Structure 1
Amino acid sequence: MTITLSAIFLVLFFLIELFYFRIADRYNIIDKPNFRSSHSKITIRGGGIIFTIAMLLCFFAFDYSYPFFVLGLVIISSISFADDIKPISNRFRIICHFLAVSLLFYQVGLFQLPVYIVSIAFVMAIGIINAINFMDGINGLTGIYSFVTLLTLYYLDTNVAPGFVSRDLLITAILAVTVFMFFNLRTKAKSFAGDVGSVGIAFIMIFFMVSLMVASGKVTYLLLLLLYGLDTISTIVFRLVRKENIFEAHRSHFYQFLANEKRIPHPMVALGYAIIQLVFNALLVMLEPSLTWTITGVVLSGLLFVALRFALEGKRRLLLSGNQPSKA
């Protein structure tokens, strides 16, 4: 993609986002604060729809590449956008997620692998989609974290594993995230990603990462989402220890503690997560660790992260029931 075409796409995405804001305002597609929220004002929901729109435009502009991935993205984004407007049953949503991921796996040729590997991949893909959705709780976090991940993938496509995916598609995703960050990476966001945004960008990043892992044969590239994984898994474990329903809305994530209890501005928390993940990514690219060293690194990182949570949040908050905030 040329610089001129990139600039045109960037301007076009800005205009599309502004047009969506008018539609969302007219049809009351908004996010009202509740006890799980880390914001206090009504804000437009669904600004992350630009991610799916950008992929569709790229699909039509560049030789109709990756049709099954695009179809899966449309399915999973459509059900997520519908859920942003009116709650959808969990069963129907899971069916749509499974169908979308199946299309993604078919696109990258994953069904040629043994059944047990495909089964594990399904569990991990669905888990990652939900984890990224759960982590979309403060201004800027989804945007800047995705931006770092996509930039790393672009570097890998340029310097380490050339051609694992269309570079035009990568650049388009980066441009769409850039536009979204302009409206979201603020103390007072103009728009939130919504499920359509967090689930959509999760699906896009999974496609890129699975394509990379299939091309390179290295599962270690899952570490491109390490920090999200540490926050999500540790939070689930602590909630299970407190005998809470892990499927109910909550404010137990570490990033929520930093933003809500420590009163650190949302953009600063988001930037912190992005910088830490960028360090992980740099180490992954430079060291190219074996699977054994990767597992060792993940375990040590997990222990350090849990120790940090205990140091800042305290044993009582993390382990004892009835100590979570009940309102924003």
Structure 2
Amino acid sequence: MPNLTSIYYFILFIVVELLYFKVADRYNIIDKPNHRSSHTRITIRGGGIIFPLAILAYAILNGFSNSYFVIGLLAISIISFLDDVLTLNNKARLGVHLGSVMLLFFQWNLFSLSWYWILIALIFVIATINAYNFMDGINGITGGYSLLTIGTLYYINEKIVSFTSGELLLIVALSLLVFNLFNFRAKAKCFAGDVGSVSIAFIVVFFIGELILASQNLSYILLLLVYGIDTAFTVLFRKIRGENIFEAHRNHFYQYLSNQLKFSHIFVSCLYIAVQLLINFLLIKFADDPLLASIGLLVSCVVVYLLLRFKIEGYRKLLTPTTN
């Protein structure tokens, strides 16, 4: 994409984001801190609306390629934005989510494959969307982690295997840069909201799915390994303690580092991004032997993660059943 075009998109996204801030302020679309929050000040919610709008802008200017993906993204973004504003019924939200995932599968032509691949894809997509939503709790983590993922995908697309439009990846990266200008800071101007965390999860899943289908290499799932490990083991620990895993909480490791140990949001976000960056580097470096590299990375990261959590938080806090 020509540099001048990139500048135009960047300026457009900044203008759109600033206009949204005015709308959000006018209609009181804000996030108020509560006992589950990792924040202490009222902040505009839904700044992540820039992600689906960026895809929409690209689609309008490029003949609506990947139409199933775009329609699914718009549907899941709209329902998530409405949930940010109104708090919708779970069944309505889940129904739209499922419909959007089915559209994504049509985009991937997945229904031509065996049923077990569809099941694996369904688990991966739903798990990733939920993980992104759970992990969106401190400044910088969603925008920074996603920018790293999109940047890595762009490198893979250019240097290893071509699987999608490089221009589209750059458009998403620009929208993330704009969002980070207002979120990746000590005092955030806005939060992503459900519309941001869900939509960027859907976008990232689309690209990773395209990459896996083009390369026939499932190890690229590890591009989301840090989020996956923290989400999976946090859910497991809560289940062991007898807690309702569907209730809102702040029991993730990143939340413990931020809330109990009082590390800054930016430090914790950079820590998570740095670990995933190392994983991405190793994943690419050992791409010639993806199975061995994937197993080694997965096992090593799980072991280090568990050692750190048990050392820092303690066995009792992580495993002792909650008393009512």
TM range (shorter): over 0.9
- The answer (yes or no) to whether the contact 1:49–1:196 under 8 Å persists in 2 is yes
Aligned match of 1:33: 33
- The answer (yes or no) to whether the contact 2:29–2:45 under 8 Å persists in 1 is yes
**Further displaced range: 110-119 or 193-202:** 110-119
Q: How far is the alpha carbon of 1:315 from its aligned partner?
A: 1.4
1:32 and 1:273 map into 2 onto residues whose CA distance is 25
Counterpart of 2:55 in structure 1: which amino acid? M
Q: How far is the alpha carbon of 1:168 from its aligned partner?
A: 1.3
SS of equivalent to 2:277: helix
Q: How far is the alpha carbon of 1:296 from its aligned partner?
A: 3.9
Aligned match of 1:82: 82
Is 2:241 aligned against 1:260?
no
1:245-293, Cα deviation, whole Å (9 max, x unpaired): 0000111000000110111110111111111101100000010133244
1:178-215, Cα deviation, whole Å (9 max, x unpaired): 00000000111000000000000000000000000000
Aligned length: 322
Aligned match of 1:245: 244
- The answer (yes or no) to whether the contact 1:58–1:168 under 8 Å persists in 2 is no
Listed as ranges, the gaps of 5+ residues in structure 2 are none
SS of equivalent to 1:48: helix
Aligned match of 2:199: 200
Aligned match of 1:137: 137
- The answer (yes or no) to whether the contact 1:187–1:266 under 8 Å persists in 2 is yes
1:213 and 1:113 map into 2 onto residues whose CA distance is 14
Aligned match of 1:94: 94
1:279 and 1:292 map into 2 onto residues whose CA distance is 17
Q: Return the TM-score normalized by structure 2.
A: 0.97
Aligned match of 1:16: 16
Q: Give % identity.
A: 49
Aligned match of 1:326: none
- The answer (yes or no) to whether the contact 1:183–1:191 under 8 Å persists in 2 is yes
Counterpart of 1:21 in structure 2: which amino acid? F
Counterpart of 2:147 in structure 1: which amino acid? F
Aligned match of 2:173: 174
**Further displaced range: 55-64 or 172-181:** 55-64
Runs of 4+ in 1 over 4 A off after TM superposition: none
2:321 and 2:261 map into 1 onto residues whose CA distance is 20
* Equivalences for residues 48-59 of structure 1 within 5 A: 48-59=48-59
Q: How far is the alpha carbon of 1:322 from its aligned partner?
A: 4.5
Aligned match of 2:149: 149
Q: How far is the alpha carbon of 1:111 from its aligned partner?
A: 1.6
1:2 and 1:105 map into 2 onto residues whose CA distance is 32
2:278 and 2:300 map into 1 onto residues whose CA distance is 15
Listed as ranges, the gaps of 5+ residues in structure 1 are 324-328
Q: Comparing both chains, which one has the higher relative contact order based on Cα–Cα distances under 8 Å and sequence gaps of 6 or more?
A: 1
Counterpart of 1:197 in structure 2: which amino acid? G
Q: How far is the alpha carbon of 1:108 from its aligned partner?
A: 1.7
1:224 and 1:85 map into 2 onto residues whose CA distance is 31
Measured on the aligned residues, the alpha-carbon RMSD in Å equals: 1.1
Aligned match of 2:45: 45
Is 2:308 aligned against 1:295?
no
Q: How far is the alpha carbon of 1:129 from its aligned partner?
A: 0.3
